[in-house]
Amino acid sequence: MGNIVWLASYPKSGNTWLRAFLANLIANRTEPVPLAELRNYCDDESLPERYAELAGKPATALDFGAISGLRHQVHALIAATHPRSVFAKTHNPAIYPEGDPIHNPMVTAAAIYVVRNPLDVVVSMTHHFGLDIDEAIDFLGHEQAGSPNERLFVGQWLGSWSTHVASWADQKFHRVLVLRYEDLLEKPAKAFGKVVKLVAPTADAGRVERARKHASFRTLAQMETRDGFIERSDKAESFFRSGRAGVWRDAMTREQVVRIINRHRAQMARFHYIPGGY
């Protein structure tokens, strides 16, 4: 078994929130871990430095095929850098379209996947990526959707929201924990308790509760206002904008909601995301 625990999600689905909770659980400080220090507690497989090291040229000069060809080597480097264990962020699906694993199985210990209602993901993406609602809906439904290859992060293939979710939720690997974003909001003790059981079963209740408070949305938003956050898109006013569930109700027409449901009905039904009347 490997030593990487992947923290996976489709973009704007709670990955940073999960990372903040785990950072505070590990640090166990009286004050919240600053946003700038999150990378001290969680690696990221999309950071360009290792790709550049392996390729012998800047990562921005690599095409998607070259990046994909280097991923398993990058994952091996992450594992070697953290010989005991490490959390690593990813927005990639679990598998490529042809079925091959995106994440190096030789260095993988487990994965935590956070899924969020795509109706709310659409709204969040409009703010983060500077899209309008219809553009975001199209993006979530596109099987070739991906993130650009940029200075801060190498490009990642996302696929559609449904493909992404199914790729992780259908994994046979027994140490994949799938969590609903909404349960983290509405049933935090139970939902975060599942995370703790997987990665830190000996942590006492006081430590877990302190980590939850230090990673509350309000606390994270206050720290961003005070200190900024490198992961904020230049198209967004803030990274931690709302964090609530159900914001789609005030942001979309019924026709737009129907488009999303028609495209993603199977996975939305699987995770109880289809609202009444649809």
**What's the CATH code of the domain at 107?**
3.40.50.300
In our burial notation (b when 16+ CB lie closer than 10 A, e otherwise), range 93-131 reads bbbeeeeebbbbeebbbbbbbbbbbbbbbbbbbbbbbeb
Cβ atoms of residues 100 and 72 within 8 Å: no
- Phi/psi for 5 (5° steps) reads -105, 110
Please tell me the total count of domains within the chain: 1
Q: Which two tokens stand for residue 163?
A: 């493909």
The pLDDT tens digits along the chain (278 residues) read 799 999 999 999 999 889 999 999 999 999 999 888 988 999 999 999 999 999 999 999 999 999 999 999 999 999 999 988 999 999 999 999 888 999 999 999 999 999 999 999 999 888 868 889 999 999 999 999 999 899 989 999 999 999 999 999 998 776 899 999 999 989 999 999 999 999 999 999 999 999 999 988 888 878 777 767 665 555 545 455 666 788 899 999 999 999 999 999 999 999 999 999 88
Q: What is the pTM of this model?
A: 0.92
- 73 found inside a domain: yes
> Rounded to a whole number, what is the largest CA-CA distance in the chain?
55
| DSSP helix/strand/coil, 218 | helix
276 found inside a domain = no
Which backbone phi and psi does 277 adopt, to 5 degrees?
Answer: 90, 0
Q: What is the pLDDT of residue 233?
A: 52
* Domain that residue 86 falls in: 4-270
Is 275 within the bounds of a domain? no
- Which phi-psi region, left, alpha or beta, contains residue 235 (left: φ > 0; alpha: ψ -120 to 50)? alpha
Bridge partners, residue 123, by sequence: none
Alpha helices in the chain (DSSP H): 15-27, 48-55, 64-81, 118-129, 133-141, 161-169, 181-186, 188-199, 205-214, 217-227, 254-270
pLDDT score of 143: 95
13, part of any domain: yes
CA 44 to each of CA 59, 116, 183, 246: distance values in angstroms, whole numbers, following the listed order: 15, 21, 25, 29
The answer to whether 159 and 97 have CB atoms below 8 angstroms apart is yes
* Domain annotation covers residue 124: yes
Q: What's the pLDDT at 238?
A: 47
pLDDT at 229: 67
Which pLDDT score, from 0 to 100, does residue 109 have?
94
